[in-house]
Amino acid sequence: MKTTIKEAKKYLNQEVTIGGWLHNKRSSGKIAFLQLRDGTGFMQGVVVKAEVSEDTFQLAKNITQESSLFVTGVITEDTRSDLGYEMQVKTIEVIDEAHDYPITPKNHGTEFLMDHRHLWLRSKKQHAVMKIRNEIIRATYEFFNNNGFTKIDPPILTASAPEGTSELFHTKYFDEDAFLSQSGQLYMEAAAMAHGKVFSFGPTFRAEKSKTRRHLIEFWMIEPEMAFYNHDDSLEVQEQYVTHIVQSVLKNCTIELKTLERDTEKLANVVTPFPRITYDDAVKFLKEEGFDDIEWGEDFGAPHETAIANHYDLPVFITNYPTNIKPFYMQPNPENEDTVLCADLIAPEGYGEIIGGSERINDLALMEQRMNEHALDAESYSYYLDLRKYGSVPHSGFGLGLERAVAWISGVEHVRETSPFPRLLNRLYP
């Protein structure tokens, strides 16, 4: 019977064949322990000299790291391993022998591993992070589909710049200028006027010269947009969505979280409602905490966000930022016109902002005025203004950065390990 490591538990005490790779091994004169991997998981194969042919035992002892093989044997219970079972190997068939695999069990530097990202993905830790990423993707579709949202795909090649003009990748679109999308938001607003509640999930690009543990040049963003939702309604969706992905990972990725030695108690504490603090109060709090470098009207840096997040030990919404540090489309706060109806969701444990969202201006004259102030060319945004001409309604939306969410939930330090092939300031290879 041909099966996989993940499915093998169904075949307890039966003989099966699994196609995989040799991850690692150790052996003595009488026994060899093969660490096998097949994409679905990692499993130990035990080869006992007295129970296999001499050829098979020699093969088990000499087989090289990352050689591909078919192993056949009986699945038996193994309560000591995370998996709960192992294989008593009977025969091994080598498919392709690997020589001098570059990533050995010793320590390699980050740059070396990043240069070998195509191989590094095979490691146990990287495998666990990608599985968690996949679970967050699955749970995202589940959440929005179960809550009446329609997925709409905004274009990637665009003529406009929702999040400011300084961070755009420029390209030619035949004779015109085009940019890689920074955010699908403006198109999602159009889609919300057609479908009510919509979400997008796709790649976005920022030509940002930031070299931090939170910044990628290319990242995936989930952008829901909801007609007739005010800012508070949107915050509720955000906390329910984030709670759903955290709980889904806790439920469906127990082996991966263990591999990553993630403190799952911290994740289990993530339940609604999330704490909220206004920008004004956050500035006061930071001053009390001894941050002399922050003045009202300035954006927060990573240390500020971390100090606020540490105070709560939960994701926290910072609401109502000053108008002048946020994009043109945000609805003014009726209680203080120097601020807007927006929030950033800051993850715990120093992972920083994972969501940015706001209520959108729905008044045509105000939108035109704000676009003027931001020196945006009204002609290339005329489709966006149309949304305010033909049946404009209050609406809100937000964007969650997938890789930052994966970093936080997995507990990995740097977002580069949360993207299969990260694009970084100095990295376009592999």
304 is an interface residue for ligand 4AD by CB under 6 A: no
Q: In what order do the strands lie in the sheet with 157-158?
A: 157-158, 176-180, 170-173
* Segment near ligand 4AD (CB under 6 A); pick from 50-58, 125-133, 216-224, 243-251: 216-224
> Quick one: which of 115, 14, 67, 356 has its CA closest to 214?
356
Among residues 20, 357, 411, 422, the one that binds ligand 4AD under rule CB under 6 A: 357
Shortest approach of ligand 4AD to residue 248 CB, angstroms? 18
Which residues in 170-189 contact ligand 4AD (CB under 6 A)? 183, 185
Residue nearest to Mg ion (CB): 356
Q: Within a 10 A sphere around the Cβ of 60, how many other Cβ atoms?
A: 24
401 is an interface residue for Mg ion by CB under 5 A: no
> Quick one: which of 45, 75, 65 has its CA closest to 123?
65
326 is an interface residue for ligand 4AD by CB under 6 A: no
SS3 179: strand
* Segment near ligand 4AD (CB under 6 A); pick from 26-34, 219-227, 258-266, 267-275: 219-227
Q: Which residues contact 423 (CB under 8 A, 6 or more apart)?
A: 216, 217, 218
Q: Is the dihedral of CA 123, 206, 321, 306 positive or negative?
A: positive
Residues making up the chain, counted from first to last: 430
Binding residues for Mg ion, rule CB under 5 A, total 1
Binding residues for ligand 4AD, rule CB under 6 A, total 24
- Residue 57 in tokens: 């035992």
Shortest approach of ligand 4AD to residue 303 CB, angstroms? 17
Shortest approach of ligand 4AD to residue 218 CB, angstroms? 8
Burial 349-360 (b: 16+ CB within 10 A, else e): ebbbbbbbbbbb
Closer residue to ligand 4AD, CB minimum distance, 22 or 188: 188
397 is an interface residue for Mg ion by CB under 5 A: no
Closer residue to ligand 4AD, CB minimum distance, 89 or 308: 308
CA distance 105 to 1: 32
Among residues 66, 86, 135, 163, the one that binds ligand 4AD under rule CB under 6 A: 163
CA distance 348 to 315: 5
Among residues 315, 327, 356, 411, the one that binds Mg ion under rule CB under 5 A: 356
397 is an interface residue for ligand 4AD by CB under 6 A: yes
- Residue 117 in tokens: 């990202």
Closer residue to Mg ion, CB minimum distance, 73 or 348: 348
SS3 336: strand
Q: Within a 10 A sphere around the Cβ of 152, how many other Cβ atoms?
A: 19
Shortest approach of ligand 4AD to residue 63 CB, angstroms? 40
* Segment near Mg ion (CB under 5 A); pick from 34-42, 136-144, 351-359, 422-430: 351-359
Strands (DSSP E) contained in 312-410 are 316-319, 332-333, 336-340, 342-347, 352-360, 395-401
Closer residue to Mg ion, CB minimum distance, 256 or 305: 305
For tokens 């609805």, name the residue. Answer: 331
Closer residue to Mg ion, CB minimum distance, 21 or 321: 321
CA distance 89 to 79: 18
Binding site for ligand 4AD (CB under 6 A): 162-163, 183, 185, 206, 208, 215-216, 219, 221, 223, 353-357, 397-401, 403-404, 415
Binding site for Mg ion (CB under 5 A): 356
